[in-house]
Chains A and B, each alone.
Chain A
Amino acid sequence: MKFIKFLLVGIVFGIVLVKSEAVSWYRIYEMFRFESFHMYGIIGSAVVTGVLLMLITKKFKFKNIEGGFMSVPDKDKGLTRYIVGGTLFGLGWALSGACPGPMYILVGTGVFSIIIVILAAMLGTYVYGVLRTKLPH
């Protein structure tokens, strides 16, 4: 039963990204050509809403259901991993049109060839894990 709430969150996530066409390869392509405000509007309004929600959360010290304060762990400091890793991700995102949320959502829309992208992404993650100690972070 405790997992039902996460299932509902996932369902809403999938519905929102399909209904807003953010799972569409075409929308990603259009975004990187700066020919539509749509994707910038989604990401921008998500961030503005998110910043406000988190400011309110900190100010009023909201608690989570486990009794602790609602917070997000800080990301590790660094530069190389974020700029290089981010750029590699961006190359793949623009080519396949799918980031790690939409690739699952698209399975639900009946595009089963996206499973190839998911398997390749698993392979990419695996290779990163193997090479991790040799890469600059």
Chain B
Amino acid sequence: MDYILQPWPWYVAGPMMALIMFTLIYFGKTFGMSSNLRTFCTIAGAGKKTKFFDFDWKAQKWNLVVVVGAILGGFIAHFLLSVPTDIDLNPATVESLSNYGFENVGKSLLPAELYSWDAVLSLKGLSILIIGGFLVGFGTRYAGGCTSGHAITGLSNLQLPSLIAVIGFFLGGLIMIHLLFPIIFG
């Protein structure tokens, strides 16, 4: 039981992610979480004005069920299958965040500096979440997939477009962390 309550190593998590992808293909579907954002837009009525959202969202119901499962899974893992454990980050990572003024680094999954209600109610904090989320939503649909659709499913099927997209993911991430973070948090 202790093995389950402690954080899981990468060599357990990675192959399990591949099995999740494989299971969905066995069920006749394709692993892709960002598609749900499009489905939500359609359910909200975006299909009336924009052709891109004019599709039969009921065919995507299975993927919405995966979303519900993911929320439940997050609850189970966090509240029932974990003991309070600090994230075992590289000390250099912790130090760099301390220099940006982050406190209690690695004590929770997300930094209070971005996700606490105090942060959310500040202009800067709210802007970070909205801009970050917007870029995720816009970028994944433009690229036709996210980490699950491109990095795991696409690369596992040796698809060149997915490799290009993953290179883009990293290009964007590196620009944000190394060039923009010093401006945003410095």
Contacts and interface: CB of A to CB of B under 8 A. Distances in A.
A37 B10 contact: yes
Nearest to A124: B137
A95 B175 CA distance: 10
Contact of A109 (B19, B78, B146, B159): B78
A90 B139 contact: yes
B164 A83 contact: yes
B172 A13 contact: no
B109 A82 contact: no
Given A108-B78, A111-B109, A125-B138, A16 B20 contact: yes
Contacts of B62: 3, 6
Q: How large is the interface on A (under 10, 10 to 19, 20 to 34, 35 or more residues)?
A: 35 or more
Contact of B137 (A32, A43, A121): A121
B136 A12 contact: no
Contacts of B154: 72, 75
A10 B63 CA distance: 9
Interface in A78-105: 78-79, 81-101, 103-105
Interface string B12-33: 1111111111111111111001
Contacts of A135: 142
Contact of B129 (A9, A88, A89, A117): A117
Interface of A: 3, 5-33, 35-51, 53-54, 57, 62, 64-66, 68, 70-79, 81-101, 103-111, 113-114, 116-130, 132, 135
> 9 smallest A-B Cβ distances: which pairs?
A10-B69, A86-B168, A14-B73, A90-B172, A108-B74, A124-B137, A50-B156, A92-B135, A120-B133
14 contacts: A19-B7, A75-B154, A76-B144, A85-B140, A87-B139, A90-B139, A93-B172, A97-B110, A99-B148, A103-B136, A117-B130, A119-B133, A124-B133, A125-B141
Interface of B: 4, 7-30, 33-34, 36-38, 40-41, 44, 46, 50, 52-53, 61-63, 65-79, 81-82, 87, 89-90, 92-93, 96-97, 105-106, 109-111, 114-117, 119-120, 126, 128-148, 150-159, 161-162, 164-178, 180, 184
